[in-house]
Structure 1
Amino acid sequence: MTLQVANVLCRVVRSDRRSTAIYIERDGSVLVRAPRTLDDAKLSKLVEKKLPWIYRNLALWEELNRDAPTREFVSGETFYIEGQPCTLDVQSEAVLPLSLVGTRLVLRADARPRAEELLRALYRQRGYERLPGLVERFARQMDVRPGRLRVWELMNRWASCSAAGNLNFHWRAMALPLDILEYLVVHELAHLKHRNHTKEFWLTVEKTLPKWEQTAGWLRVHGAGRSL
């Protein structure tokens, strides 16, 4: 459902959670997660009290995304892989259509029309190379047993944990710095113990990553498109 408070349109998702939380999504929309038992009138008042916070963070989101440069597949352009800037180098004689050589992304000139598709595949490959080790390490530390791991397109979410315990990560997450990626892993693993964002859930996250709030805040204001 949607909820209009002042000039802010919110998407409301209700569940068995005990508290209300407000998020600025990667696409700039406002998401409100609320308990099923909270009626619309009380929810509106809670959101109204948070309007200054919403306005401030929407303005920050708009500033970040307005200033984001348009990525072009030309030599000298910069893309991020695991938090590190990598310079695109277009070569007519490159062996592979797209490859990562040190801090250079080497793109064969005749593959430029498929560059976006190739870059997405490269991120997915990196995800399948890096994420299993991180998941295994933190799962052992948190004493949980996750199911299948997938790296794919998740629209406006960085990661998710299914009811069956399967972990899903957006391919763009492989552009993120390591500490941010670790937070995503721990966050989803914590859902194997607590399905909703309860106090116990956040205590589980904090026990593993004491500085989780700093990385969570980074994710709230940086869209996936700015991470590339």
Structure 2
Amino acid sequence: MLIEVIADTLSDALIAQEAGAGRIELVTGLAEGGLTPGYGVIERVCKELKIPVNVMIRPHSRGFCYSEEDIEVMIQDIDICKKLGAAGVVFGVLTHNNQVHIDYLKRLIDAADGMDITFHRAFDEADDQFAAMEIIKQYPQISRILTSGGERSAANAAARLRKLNELTADSHLKIMAGAGLSIENITAFLDEVPVTEVHFGTGVRFQSSYDHQIDPERVRKIIKIIGA
């Protein structure tokens, strides 16, 4: 079981690593759902951490439909992340009809050549998640989909996430459950949805809020609970 933890500072990333996290999703703009962090933060975190660091590639918080100029910026950000030592990148692109934007997705995948790729929670806004999953599944470069099953909390979407997990079981693609998972609900959730990667944000922070730093004891408790 791999635990991915969201971090927006070097200190948070170091705390998560020390507590036993398996991977960092590095972002800024947590209140806006995560945006591409500054290059200085990316460089320092990638340099100082021993665990993989995957960087959010999201130029603005106005949804997941992008202009040509946005895509060009995202490609440039991916290129810089590669040079700064990031293990992977995290992105998602949709059309105005809330379907996977295949052309833009291909361009971002090409830019990330050799890097680990997560298709992020843009997936949760897809008009048909199962159709979106089948499209994403066609690209072996994409390692996983981060999803809450379309609900505010993954804990409220166990049936859908279990089905998505079953449909990807015979492929390279993993379902990484995230959003709303915590010490209190992770055991019951994993009993219903046997994913191998889980993603934590507020669930591992003091006062369960992005206004506070990561609580290493919460990370350790989750690792102990799930036997990671």
What is the TM-score with the length of structure 2 in the denominator? Answer: 0.25
TM-score by length of 1: 0.25
- Larger Rg belongs to: 1
Select the structure that is richer in strand. Answer: 1
